[in-house]
């Protein structure tokens, strides 16, 4: 998650749960969505999945007037990572949208100048880029004014870039200017080398809830309450869909090593030998699927409780994430 940045007139704040209505006002605006070439969101429940992913990715700034905290738009500064274990930042993609009533005041320039400075001095990305649709010459001039130059194009869009070396040279910056942000790329105190705890047992939470099955399973692994996990996952409404990406994000946040994943589900049959610790996909015949946990011969199940043998009312369909101790 990004830090709060300020300019003369604006505050750039990381996306928060309370920003849902303001963000939906943009994503449900027909004219803005047409300009962004984004699917118009008419139903707030449908938009909530996209919004939650934005919270988890931590790559959004809301743009607010500094004197009254009034929401006027947002910036997406999408971190692109190199492949491999290090997962270092290779570039940052920039995107900005303002509500129409705030156009023409120089807010977009002011906000993006600050975001570009943060991308180079805070994230320390080698370059930033903006993909601009070919029928938007106004956007091309806007990004050129900010210092980006032409890089490449295709039939639909043109890409402009700004390298860190050019930025430092243009503004005569020094090493001291690169240390102005105290910024953690991931807002988590944990890592694989420093997990929340070793998985050497499972505690069944008092607030376990099958309608919050994903949160409940991770609460069992961490020893936390379901509510605490839901706060990190950014999904705390019973019945709200918990996608695999939410689960992977939250496991990673707590430093819980896992392998497998939604695309590598292993079907369970009578002969399947389960890993010592794994997250299962369970099925209530004719009704729904939900997440459950298996730990060394025992099922810690949000629906049926802690059992060595599952009742006929549920069945394991596949195991998804194998968890390391």
**Domain 210-323, CATH among 3.10.20, 3.40.50, 3.90.70, 3.30.70:** 3.90.70
Name the residue with higher pLDDT: 278 or 253.
278
As a whole number of angstroms, the distance between CA 255 and CA 169 comes to 39
pLDDT band at 311 (very low <50, low <70, confident <90, very high): very high
Lowest mean pLDDT among 35-49, 105-119, 207-221: 35-49
Token pair 């490449």 in the structure block, residue: 152
Q: Are 157 and 132 in contact (CB under 8 A)?
A: yes
Using the Cα atoms of residue 226, residue 227, residue 230 and residue 232 in order, give the sign of their dihedral.
negative
User: Please, are residues 127 and 166 in contact by the beta-carbon 8 Å criterion?
Assistant: no
Q: How far apart are CA 147 and CA 159, in angstroms?
A: 13
For residue range 21-31, what is the model confidence (pLDDT) as tens digits? 999 998 888 88
Q: What is the pTM of this model?
A: 0.69
The Cβ of residue 208 has, within 10 Å, a number of other Cβ atoms equal to 21
pLDDT above 80 for 125: yes
Give the domain ranges of the chain.
5-179, 210-323
Mean pLDDT of 8-20: 92
5-179 CATH pick, 3.30.379.10, 3.40.720.10, 3.20.20.140, 3.40.630.30: 3.40.630.30
85 confidence band (pLDDT: 50, 70, 90)? very low
Q: DSSP secondary structure string, 119-176?
A: IIIII--SEEEEEEETT-HHHHHHHHHTT-EEEEE-SSEEEEEEEHHHHHHHTT--GG
């Amino acid at each position: 998650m990004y830090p709060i940045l300020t300019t003369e007139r604006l505050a750039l704040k990381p996306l928060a749960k309370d920003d849902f209505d303001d963000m939906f006002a943009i994503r449900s605006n027909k004219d803005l969505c047409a300009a962004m070439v984004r699917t118009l969101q008419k139903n707030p429940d449908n938009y909530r999945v996209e919004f939650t992913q934005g919270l988890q990715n931590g790559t959004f700034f809301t743009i607010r007037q500094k004197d009254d905290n009034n929401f006027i738009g947002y910036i997406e500064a999408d971190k692109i990572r190199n492949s491999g274990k290090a997962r270092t930042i290779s570039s940052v993609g920039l995107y900005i949208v303002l509500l129409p009533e705030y156009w023409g005041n120089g807010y977009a320039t002011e906000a993006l100048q600050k975001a570009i400075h943060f991308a180079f001095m805070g994230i320390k990305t080698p370059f930033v880029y903006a993909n601009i649709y070919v029928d938007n010459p106004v956007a091309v001039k806007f990004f050129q004014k900010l210092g980006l130059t032409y890089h490449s194009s295709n039939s639909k869009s043109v890409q402009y870039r700004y390298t860190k070396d050019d930025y430092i040279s243009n503004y005569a910056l020094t090493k001291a200017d690169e240390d102005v942000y105290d910024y953690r790329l991931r807002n988590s105190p944990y890592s694989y080398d420093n997990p929340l705890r070793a998985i050497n047992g499972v505690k069944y939470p008092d607030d376990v809830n099958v309608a919050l099955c994903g949160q409940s399973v991770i609460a069992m692994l961490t020893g936390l309450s379901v509510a605490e996990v839901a706060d990190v996952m950014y999904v705390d409404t019973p019945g709200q869909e918990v996608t695999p990406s939410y689960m992977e994000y939250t496991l990673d946040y707590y430093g819980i090593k896992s392998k497998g994943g939604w695309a590598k589900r292993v079907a369970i049959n009578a002969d399947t030998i389960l890993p010592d610790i794994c997250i299962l996909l369970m099925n209530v015949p004719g009704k729904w699927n939900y997440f459950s946990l298996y730990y060394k011969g025992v099922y810690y199940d949000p629906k049926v409780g802690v059992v060595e043998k599952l009742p006929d009312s549920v069945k394991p369909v596949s195991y998804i994430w194998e968890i390391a101790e």
